[in-house]
Structure 1
C-alpha cells in the first residue's frame, strides 16, 4: 500500500503560518499523534518536520514546509523480525482429593 501525500494545509491565521490545530482539523490526525511525530531528533518514526517558528507556545509551519509530505503507513517498524507466538499453556487437570478417610 503506497501512502498518498497529505494535502498542503491552508493557514487559518493572518500570519500565514499553519498551526498544530490547523493540521489536526485539516488532516484528521490527533494532536498527540502529530506532536509525537515532530522530527526533533533522529528517530526513524518522526515524519513531521520541525516547526519553522513558535508563536507564544504554538508550534507553526510555513505551508511550503508541509507540501508533499507523506505520512508513513502504520505497521511494524523496520528491523522487527517476525516471530512465532508462544505456545498456549494447556490446563492441567488434577483429580480431587480422595474422599475416603481411613
Structure 2
C-alpha cells in the first residue's frame, strides 16, 4: 500500500466513525426533545435509550424499536469500530426514519 493509500484509508475510517457518532447524536437530540416534551428524565446514555424504549412502548411500533437498536449500534461503533460498511448502509435509513417520526410527533403536539 502506498503512503497515499494509507492516508486515504485512515481518512475513510475516520469519516466512517464520525458518521456513526453523528447519527447517534441526532438520535440523542431527538430523544432529549421528546423527553422534555413528555416530562421524562434525560441527559444520560441510559435515559436516552430508556426514552426510546418508552416511546416504542407508548406507540407500539416495531420501527421505533429498530431505530433505537440501530442508533445504539452506531454509538457503539464510534468507540469500537465494529460495524461493517453494509451494516451502516442498512442502519442509516432506520435511524433517519426514527428521527423523522419523533420530529413529526413533536410537531403534532406543538400544533395542538
Verify same fold: TM over 0.5. Answer: no
Higher strand proportion: 1
TM-score (norm 2): 0.30
